[in-house]
Amino acid sequence: MSGHAGLPSVRWSLRGRTDEGDEAWLIRSISQKLYRCPGCHGEIEIGTEHTVVQYVLRLGGTEHHHWHRQCTEELLVPELSGVQRVPASESTQARLEARGRGKSGQRRRR
């Protein structure tokens, strides 16, 4: 029981933390091509509502994977700590990639 049934949704994403200290953002998406879910290794068909798991790495950078909703609920969310919902507007790919760049601490303005 995660307490976040039905999330992520159009309005809400989820954010948690992995054992390694990376951020994991769960974002609702519709597949535009065929993906393979890392949870069950099954296919996610085109046009299917599913979950994008975007990691913002502790040492900088991002990576993402496409998961079945049910697989994130059963396999991934229970492994994360501090899971909370955040407005979907804060979890766009561009914003998370910028967040990953910021963490590397190498951005300078002159």
Q: Which residues bind Zn ion (CB under 5 A)?
A: 37, 39-40, 68, 71
Minimum distance from residue 37 beta carbon to Zn ion (Å): 3
* Cα 100 to Cα 97: distance, rounded to the nearest angstrom: 5
The smaller minimum CB distance to Zn ion, of residues 43 and 90, is found at 43
The smaller minimum CB distance to Zn ion, of residues 51 and 100, is found at 51
The smaller minimum CB distance to Zn ion, of residues 8 and 39, is found at 39
* Cα 48 to Cα 105: distance, rounded to the nearest angstrom: 37
User: Residue 37 — φ and ψ, nearest 5°?
Assistant: -75, 125
Minimum distance from residue 77 beta carbon to Zn ion (Å): 13
